[in-house]
Structure 1
Amino acid sequence: MNSSISLRKALALTASGAALCLCNSALAQTAPQQDEKSVQETVIVTGTRGAPRTAFDSLAPVDVISDKAIDLTASDEVMDTLSQLVPSFNVKRLPMADGQVFVRPASLRALSADHTLVLINGKRMHRSALLGSNGAQAPDLAQIPSYAIKQIEVLRDGASAQYGSDAIAGVINIILDDEGGTKAFAQAGQYYEGDGKQYRIGVQQGFVFDNGFLNLSGEYTDAQPTSRSRQRADAIALQEAFPELNVPNPVQNWGQPERQAYRFAVNGQYDFANTEAYVFSTYGFGNGVTDFNWRNPLSTSAFGDSAIDPTYDLSAIYPVGFTPRFGQDDNDFSLTSGIRSASEGAFSYDLSASYGRNQIEYFMSNSINASLGSASPTSFDIGTLTQKEFNLNADFAYLVSLDFLADDLTFAFGAERRNEDYEIGHGEYASYAVGPLAEEGFPSGSNGFPGFSPDQSGSSDQTSYAAYVDVEVPVMDRWTIGAAVRYEDFSEFGSDTNGKISTRFELTPSLALRATASTGFRAPTPGQLFSERTSQGLDTTTLNIFTRGRYSPQGPIANLINQRADVTIRPLEPEESENFTAGLAWNSNFGLTATLDVYQIDVTNRLSTSSTYNLTDAERAELAALNVPGAESITSVNFFQNDFDTRSKGLDLVMAYGFALGAGQVNVTGAYNYNKTEVTGGSFASNTTAADRFEKGIPQNTANLQATYEIGKWDVFGRMRYYGEWRDYSGNSTGDIFQDFGGMVLFDLGTTYQVNDNLSLRVGAENVFDQYPDEATFQASRGLIYSRNAPYDTDGGQYYVRLDFSF
């Protein structure tokens, strides 16, 4: 299928925008400690197939985050660093949101998590096995040890024509460390409330040889849970009605999960005979546990007397009800190796192979399969999700010298083969079984998260082939034009062709204009195409448990719903986009730099979860006849669908200024993002409830301002983070309830003392004034105090101390 925008149209827009065009450098998100050179002189490799450029010379806006900036955030997860330093990047905590508690969704420019392509050392990172909000299946950035990172480059521009599927919002390129030497760190911290203790240690050993390098990194994190909860009203009523019981207070904890993680990385290169052989790998494993909703013994259908099994007495096991404990064991591995040109000749090549695997094993404790009665265990192995990918890449570049050009023309071309495999492994029998007590109304499956049944298990795959051409033309010393075209064919739905054109013009050596226009796409994954899942929720009005099923848009259940009048469940198609960016970059000679970008991103055929279809008794009977697990208790079903279109308009403003103050140096950086997303078509256009979730769920205005002062052995830094107004929603079985929240300002402070050449000590605090948002009114019945969907941490202030060693 072809994109709706033509390259001719894109070229016309870009050429006409040469006077308006945008240039944005990477200066904004570089570490608060500035190097001697200007931030805009930082060398980048993302967004170009030619020789590495400085950020100021780039044809598209790129932010650069250094290892120093990463070390100045308390979190061990890369996405938290990005969210604090790149205003257009957002990540949420999502407590009690099943697997999203551990694999947290992140978005760039308010688009879906899988609209941003993630690279490691310029090569595509594999996806997580989790299908998150609205089916988004993105890489798990938490699997990469932050201590192994040398630099992160964030390309804030559509790049599907250059890199393939997923690069609608942009590209995050994580570059691993290649330095020599030995270093280590140890960090400890906790929240002001006294919980959420976190301990981190990391070590790195680098070897530099005459003809290469090898860098080894490892990191361990132990994070204890947080709880920002109050006692549920129905739990208070239970305690008052039965004073002899010892009802826990609170009965369920809203907050961050308990988790432990080990993350490792290897990065190496060996040079021989004008050729570089390289290899890099990441490996991680960990586990986490979190609470689910409390089951009240007076209203939960798992409690009660059974005529079939008179010995079944759940009150004897859980006299005060029960709170299921949900957890996962994760295992992640990636390996990339290849050879590339080592010389600086006119022709260069890069041949590589990559393999990645992400596996998640779910488990449940403190639960029950009530349909099995007294034969039910209380702990369950729920099942396994596995995502595997194998990529082959061949990239070539040829420098063509033409007399009428200011410099060599770069002609790049290449091909890619990518295979994705998604597998669901079924859980133990008791986790999904429909036991004999089901006919009495007792719910089946492990309560809280029913296990994957053999009918839901299995594997599916998709193979794609791609070819591209990418050209950069230095028309004159001040003017460069770039163009790229990429064709990609997928085994499951067909082909797609995308293009991009860019231009950059220097008005003066310190002021440049730049613009890009491109088309993009995101192909549906095998997991989105074929996987199925049931889940349980708690209605915040009735406090009753309800069971929902999400099924493949191709299959007997979709066929059943299609029998309804005016309902059509369709097979999935690619999401497609049109991206336009324009702006300027300024690099003064007195330490002040600034960039301004404006952009528009139109995305059509966006993937989401369809409308919910409440089942009739007759339809449930048909599902039971189809041997659908838990059919007797399923209240509603939905499907992944290409449901709607959106338009995102925005602005990025970035500034940095460095100057001497007394005997020290002050460096100030600031960044502001405005982003407005509107639903422009599809089924959501006439559905205010659904549209609001996409238009107002993330603040339209975000900003940060940070400053450092370096003097002698001391380094003091401060950071302000601003989050504008946003809207929350509470999912119920019969609809959504909304609540508006005002803006939030959070402050971070810290100081570092260089004890000697080998040791430094840092003491810091994030959200130093212990700020909390307004309470979540509509979810108070669940014991929740602050919104689970907040775009910032709602656990209050935290402090930490860190020691860094180098040898």
Structure 2
Amino acid sequence: METPYSSGFGSARGAPIRRGHTMKHLLTTASLAVLASSLTGFDASAHAQSDGAQAQTDRDTIIVTGTRAANRTAFDTLAPVDVLTGEAIGQTVSPELIDSLAQLVPSFNVQRLPLGDGQIFVRPARLRSLSPDQTLVLINGKRRHRSAFLGNRGAQAVDMAQIPSSAISRIEVLRDGASAQYGSDAIAGVINIILDSQPGFSSFGQYSQYYEGDGELYQLGAQAGFDLDGRGFLVLSAEYSDASATSRSRQRPDAIEFQAANPQLNVPDPVQRWGKPDREAFRLALNSAFAFNTAVEGYVFGTLGWGSGVNDFNWRNPASTSAYNTTPLDPNYNLAAIFPAGFTPRFGQDDTDRALTAGIRGELNPAFSWDLSASYGRNEIDYFINETINASLGSASPTEFRAGILRQRDFNLNADFVYLLDTGLAEPVNIAFGLERRDERFEIEAGDLASYQVGPLAAVGLPSGSNGFPGYSDLQAGTFDQESYAGYLDVEAALTEQLTVGGAIRYEDYSDFGSTTDYKLSGRFAFTGNLAVRGTWSTGFRAPTPGQLESERTSQGLNSVTLNLVTNGRFNPTGPVADIINARPGGQVILPLTPETSENRSVGVVFRNDLGFTATLDLYQIDVEDRFSTRGGFQLTDAERAQLVALGIPGGESVSNASFFQNVFDTRTRGVDFVLNWAGQALAGDLNLTLAYNWNETTVTREAIAGVFNDVSRRLFEEGLPQHNAVFTADYTRGRWGVVARARHYGQWTDIDDSADVLFQDFSPITLVDVAASFQLTDNVRIRAGAENVFDTYPDESRNQANRGLIYSRNAPYDTDGGKWYFRVSAAF
């Protein structure tokens, strides 16, 4: 695995992205032709041509998240729910939904992580600073499948970038634990993406570029919505984006020295690029429903996507990289003849993603409704690495490798029922109950033999595996399954006109670790129609996935002192390598994974008045036990290495460290969410003002295994994201004109500092301002121009990794590429 700390090797500038999807290009060509013939343009608000007078958070919208009652709004729900309109989502520039959420929801953080292997394409997104896979993602109320990528600390979350933003009607963000209602993963909250269902035709075209002149981004989209004779709808959406790379890098000092010592060579400047990757993507979405009669309706929705991206790894210096060594064992091997100026491996992925949900729903009578559905989702990531070498193979080594394929497949069956029981209370008691069956499958397909092979030159110290990212071996390949069954009961009752209470219980049984039962209690008391308090208490869990339970990954390199081949491996906690560690004196230290469990508490107040003000204030505490992390530090002996060789593990004779996913620590997260909104008439137009603020603090309360956190890793975990975040948005419309301004504030946060005199670096608070103006050109066509980070504000420069050319921290929770301007044309008919 490539990290900024690895011995690094590289690529020439301008290497093309590998394209592997013929169908993608056919569909892209077709969509471009359609767009060209229809006056390019489609806003995320496909059918409302005004950018202004649209609330970022609409508290009068009937919500479907966090409640199974049919009449709850965001204002009178028992738990905090933000409703993000399609208009607000469409006012952001990025083609990836997680970036839009990060700009609109202050408790939602996203990092870029350049040179972070697959994390640069499937970026970690955290709600309330918890793990990316501790937030449940739904589409139209149905569970979304996971990505095949296992990220930091083994997190396996949903890849929300696969969902086209222009297909979205609204997003409901439940900021509360909800495992008792929805099952695994809903510890931090729930993000429910509601697809558009309105008739009409629309399209859009957008171009953007950073002030620095790089990062060009072309976006095109189209949507067609059909009314099915008054009995339903059919909406088809398509989006295409093509983004070029950015670079905020300086030349590495060792590259300057190498160039000076070898003036006859042309060393690229910079030799490695810190920034966004080259990325191309095509996304489709379908949403449809049809009433067969007055009592039964069928529905189907889904997404389909293809993508390809490529990025730099660390530059390999010929003066210090062992792969440049020569040996009489292979006189024809001379890496200096292939890469005379060093090399920077170009790492990338081709990804495909598909999801389909179909079901029928209806009413037996006005008091009893039902919903039966089946959902299938599949995510596939095909890794490749070019402009590199497997030096242990010598002159027989290729310079391009297919490194392996990861696949995640989910299949869900759901039966949901709601019964309204009239007991003479203020309103009927809402009784929801249901059953769920889930089947998860994780698969690893081995890469090219040369990508992981230990060749004959390993015996003389030449590193094995495709340099930078050794491929998945045939022994790591396999298919791993997990099955679960669940049943739940969810009740809401208005005991009086003022007091509403709710309770939920859910039982789940998993094939790999057993059963769990979770509970939730909630209540809301209205002092008046405009002022109320609310509170919740719940337990939760996140079940380990098949990929976390059974997958293995090894990275091979060279000990620079002994010149011996070494392998660092992450192994199955119930596999044979774990048995070897557990056979040591002292007994079992590597344990099977168990679910992460949580306890959530929140209390809040909601207020509104007739002057257009709405305000909510919520305090919360989330205690999570048995959180996952990677437990390493197991130095293997010669005898233990011999056992690995007998097991057939590639490079087993030189394994230095073994690590495992384990449940190793507990945390407590405390925070405050404050949202203030005002909408009304001002300056002869419509004005909407929204202020959203989040304070969030996470601390490690217990280490189940001593030594997992040292002083450095603990502080980075607790302070690596800002504790204070805020977003202020002003949206103004007057006649054909509209203006949107947004200020995004990020508080102080901490990163490591590898300079000689200090250990940490605190990054100052930063505020980024976005501004856009729009004009209704005709009744159907609208234009918009603007800039994100309009003042071209940059954060503090990072001292960490400066010797590798890094300028700004790779862990920053905001874009560090400076200002970006854009122009958009949209049309709706």
CA contact (8 A) 1:127 1:358 kept: yes
Task: Return the letter of the residue paired with 1:146.
Answer: S
Q: CA distance change for structure 1 residues 750 and 35 in 2, over 3 Å: closer, same or farther?
A: closer
Equivalent residue number for residue 736 of structure 2: 713
C-alpha offsets along residues 315-338 of structure 1, whole Å, 9 cap, x if unaligned? 110111110000100000001000
CA contact (8 A) 1:283 1:332 kept: yes
Tell me if 1:764 matches 2:786: yes
Tell me if 1:782 matches 2:795: no
**Alpha-carbon deviation of 1:277?**
0.3
Equivalent residue number for residue 220 of structure 2: 201
Tell me if 1:803 matches 2:825: yes
Equivalent residue number for residue 248 of structure 2: 228
Aligned counterparts of 1:364 and 1:63: Cα–Cα separation in 2: 41
Aligned counterparts of 1:720 and 1:565: Cα–Cα separation in 2: 58
Equivalent residue number for residue 279 of structure 1: 300
CA contact (8 A) 2:632 2:657 kept: no
Task: Return the letter of the residue paired with 1:600.
Answer: Q
CA contact (8 A) 2:53 2:733 kept: no
Match of 1:746 among 768, 790, 796: 768
Tell me if 1:348 matches 2:378: no
C-alpha offsets along residues 505-537 of structure 1, whole Å, 9 cap, x if unaligned? 101100011000000000000000000112369
Match of 2:751 among 728, 731, 736: 728
Task: Return the letter of the residue paired with 2:296.
Answer: T
Tell me if 1:573 matches 2:594: yes
3-state SS, counterpart of residue 790 of structure 1? coil
CA contact (8 A) 1:40 1:587 kept: no
**Alpha-carbon deviation of 1:794?**
0.6
**Alpha-carbon deviation of 1:615?**
4.3
Q: CA distance change for structure 1 residues 730 and 307 in 2, over 3 Å: closer, same or farther?
A: farther
Q: CA RMSD in A?
A: 2.3
Moved more, 572-581 or 238-247: 238-247
Tell me if 1:385 matches 2:406: yes
Equivalent residue number for residue 599 of structure 1: 620
Aligned counterparts of 1:752 and 1:617: Cα–Cα separation in 2: 69
Aligned counterparts of 2:575 and 2:523: Cα–Cα separation in 1: 47
Tell me if 1:119 matches 2:138: yes
CA contact (8 A) 2:54 2:688 kept: no
CA contact (8 A) 2:112 2:123 kept: yes
Q: CA distance change for structure 1 residues 536 and 219 in 2, over 3 Å: closer, same or farther?
A: farther
Task: Return the letter of the residue paired with 2:628.
Answer: L
**Alpha-carbon deviation of 1:546?**
7.9
Equivalent residue number for residue 677 of structure 2: 656
**Alpha-carbon deviation of 1:539?**
12
**Alpha-carbon deviation of 1:687?**
2.8
Match of 2:526 among 506, 510, 535: 506
With structure 2 as the length reference, what TM-score do the two structures score? 0.90
Aligned counterparts of 1:253 and 1:526: Cα–Cα separation in 2: 35
Moved more, 550-559 or 106-115: 550-559
Aligned counterparts of 1:60 and 1:85: Cα–Cα separation in 2: 19
Match of 1:246 among 245, 258, 266: 266
C-alpha offsets along residues 737-779 of structure 1, whole Å, 9 cap, x if unaligned? 5322111111111101111110000001011111111111021
Task: Return the letter of the residue paired with 1:230.
Answer: R
CA contact (8 A) 1:300 1:545 kept: no
Task: Return the letter of the residue paired with 2:799.
Answer: T
**Identical pairs, percent:** 59
Match of 2:309 among 280, 288, 291: 288
Tell me if 1:699 matches 2:717: no
**Alpha-carbon deviation of 1:354?**
0.4
Q: CA distance change for structure 1 residues 578 and 458 in 2, over 3 Å: closer, same or farther?
A: same
Moved more, 617-626 or 365-374: 617-626
Tell me if 1:86 matches 2:105: yes
Match of 1:484 among 504, 517, 532: 504
**Alpha-carbon deviation of 1:547?**
5.4
Aligned counterparts of 2:567 and 2:263: Cα–Cα separation in 1: 32
Aligned counterparts of 1:503 and 1:154: Cα–Cα separation in 2: 19
Match of 1:408 among 392, 417, 428: 428
Task: Return the letter of the residue paired with 1:716.
Answer: V
Equivalent residue number for residue 339 of structure 2: 318
Aligned counterparts of 1:727 and 1:538: Cα–Cα separation in 2: 32
CA contact (8 A) 2:55 2:679 kept: no
**Alpha-carbon deviation of 1:689?**
2.5
Aligned counterparts of 1:670 and 1:538: Cα–Cα separation in 2: 53
Gaps in structure 1 of 5+ consecutive residues: 1-30
CA contact (8 A) 1:271 1:342 kept: no
Gaps in structure 2 of 5+ consecutive residues: 1-49
Match of 1:677 among 666, 689, 698: 698
With structure 1 as the length reference, what TM-score do the two structures score? 0.93
Aligned counterparts of 1:440 and 1:685: Cα–Cα separation in 2: 35
Equivalent residue number for residue 139 of structure 1: 158
Q: CA distance change for structure 1 residues 634 and 115 in 2, over 3 Å: closer, same or farther?
A: same
3-state SS, counterpart of residue 138 of structure 1? coil
Aligned counterparts of 1:740 and 1:545: Cα–Cα separation in 2: 38
Moved more, 123-132 or 775-784: 775-784
CA contact (8 A) 1:32 1:707 kept: no
Aligned counterparts of 2:117 and 2:524: Cα–Cα separation in 1: 46
C-alpha offsets along residues 149-174 of structure 1, whole Å, 9 cap, x if unaligned? 00000000000000000000000000
Task: Return the letter of the residue paired with 2:548.
Answer: Q
Aligned counterparts of 1:188 and 1:450: Cα–Cα separation in 2: 37
Aligned counterparts of 2:67 and 2:609: Cα–Cα separation in 1: 25
Equivalent residue number for residue 628 of structure 1: 649
Tell me if 1:40 matches 2:71: no
Match of 1:156 among 169, 175, 185: 175
Task: Return the letter of the residue paired with 1:67.
Answer: G
CA contact (8 A) 1:127 1:137 kept: yes
C-alpha offsets along residues 432-470 of structure 1, whole Å, 9 cap, x if unaligned? 111111111111110000001110000110000000001
Tell me if 1:467 matches 2:490: no
C-alpha offsets along residues 293-349 of structure 1, whole Å, 9 cap, x if unaligned? 111111112111112111111111011111000010000000100011157710100
Aligned counterparts of 2:83 and 2:253: Cα–Cα separation in 1: 49
CA contact (8 A) 2:56 2:83 kept: no
**Alpha-carbon deviation of 1:541?**
14
C-alpha offsets along residues 185-243 of structure 1, whole Å, 9 cap, x if unaligned? 00001101100000000000000121110000000000000011111111111111111
